[in-house]
Chain A
Amino acid sequence: KAGVTQTPRYLIKTRGQQVTLSCSPISGHRSVSWYQQTPGQGLQFLFEYFSETQRNKGNFPGRFSGRQFSNSRSEMNVSTLELGDSALYLCASSAPIQGSEQYFGPGTRLTVT
């Protein structure tokens, strides 16, 4: 089975711009979670989608949003970028079962200048 893929791998944006990141889960996985990873805060949960519905949300401002399509692919969007949004954004897919194992993609490295 192909693993989780994320595009793009690297991105440089300017403050105030917006960005959209994409994630394709492992075939058959219907749950997709997004995380932000920074050296200071570690891995922080953004949100989780299942069957095109946001099932869980972390403590991030409304500038961070996401969606999931009928084929389980997911996108996350960050509007009005700030310098502090520079991070590795990770997507993980899993079977939609309580506490099921998550399989991560390689991440998108976002740099905001």
Chain B
Amino acid sequence: TQLLEQSPQFLSIQEGENLTVYCNSSSVFSSLQWYRQEPGEGPVLLVTVVTGGEVKKLKRLTFQFGDARKDSSLHITAAQPGDTGLYLCAGAGPLGDYKLSFGAGTTVTVRA
């Protein structure tokens, strides 16, 4: 059982469309990170959100951390083929717990 539930599992859209990926949990996290992974490579960190209610924008990507620090979302505006990949969310646990718990990931395919 995944501590973090990501939805949807797969997403296929046309270039120029918008998409949102969700990451939900019943646990509270001290911080939450989003990664993107391409085939044959390790995950690459996109962003870290720390404060409940926080919104971070990186160009066409918008990340939100829920007020209760249990959930997060990633929104991509005007998706491009280069956005294709596996998107993973990962939560950091309570004080003294140094491991990250990862969601199962959302596979995003952006068709040209």
- A residues near B (Cβ < 8 Å) are 4, 31, 33, 35, 42-45, 48, 50, 55-56, 58, 90, 92, 96, 98-99, 101-107, 109
Are B102 and A31 in contact, with the CB atoms below 8 A?
no
Nearest B residue (CB) for A9: B40
Known: A31-B98, A42-B102. A99 touches B31 (CB 8 A): yes
Q: Which residues of chain B (61-104) have a CB below 8 Å from chain A?
A: 88, 90, 92-93, 95-104
Q: Roughly how many angstroms separate A99 CA and B105 CA in the complex, as a whole number? A: 19
Query: Which of A35, A42, A90, A106 contacts B103, CB < 8 Å?
Result: A42
Are B102 and A43 in contact, with the CB atoms below 8 A?
yes
**Further 15 A-B residue pairs, CB within 8 A, beyond A45-B102, A98-B97, A106-B41:** A33-B100, A35-B102, A42-B2, A43-B43, A43-B88, A45-B101, A56-B99, A92-B42, A99-B48, A101-B45, A101-B48, A103-B45, A104-B35, A107-B41, A107-B42
Known: A42-B2, A42-B104, A99-B30. A104 touches B98 (CB 8 A): no
Nearest B residue (CB) for A6: B42
Q: Tell me, rounded to whole Å, the shortest Cβ–Cβ distance linking B38 to chain A.
A: 10
Query: Which of B29, B31, B43 contacts A90, CB < 8 Å?
Result: B43
